[in-house]
Amino acid sequence: MAAPENTSSLEQLIAALKREAAGGDKALPPVDKWNPAHCGDIGMEILADGTWKHEGTRITREPLVKLFASILRKDEDGQTYLVTPVEKIIVKVEDAPFVAIRADRVGEGENQTIVFTTNTGDIITAGPDHPLRVDRRGDEPRPYVHVRGRLEARILRAPFYELVEWSEPKEGKLGV
């Protein structure tokens, strides 16, 4: 099946995603291995608070947002796309494509880990494969955790304050 040259409809994208989801495999699709032609812009965007919109209208169906999130990819050009084996559609992202809505401590002492849950259901254990970083915009720090590929989740204020509360001084720095 050839990809459309200029634009693609949301309905075609949803149908393709449903076909892939019907396989029952809970693993994320291998979007990093797919290299379809760019199909254009259908008015998809993700706001800083994690709200997904299509042509200015909020997408309220959580399963649909999770489905879209599963095929999200950020390329080397800095642009974020919805990617299927035959389509690549640009998504405008205000800040980060995901939002870390919860942080939990698992274990104790040196064996303790911090686990984040995103607005789309991703579970991320902070560490070398999923580092934390803090960006300064204005007077407030903006913390992020790596999710997958080049995609990050902005850590919301409440989980960030939990991290601050859990922090301990170590070698002249605060850490969790």
Q: Mind listing the pLDDT tens digit for each residue in 56-89?
A: 999 999 999 999 999 999 999 999 999 999 999 9
Handedness of CA 14, 16, 17, 23 (dihedral sign): positive
3 state SS of 60:
coil
**pLDDT-wise least confident of 2-16, 78-92, 102-116, 149-163:** 2-16
pLDDT digits (tens, 9 = 90+) for 2-36: 444 434 455 565 555 555 545 544 688 999 999 99
The token pair at 103 is 């942080």
Percent of the chain with pLDDT over 70: 84
Average pLDDT over residues 101-112: 86
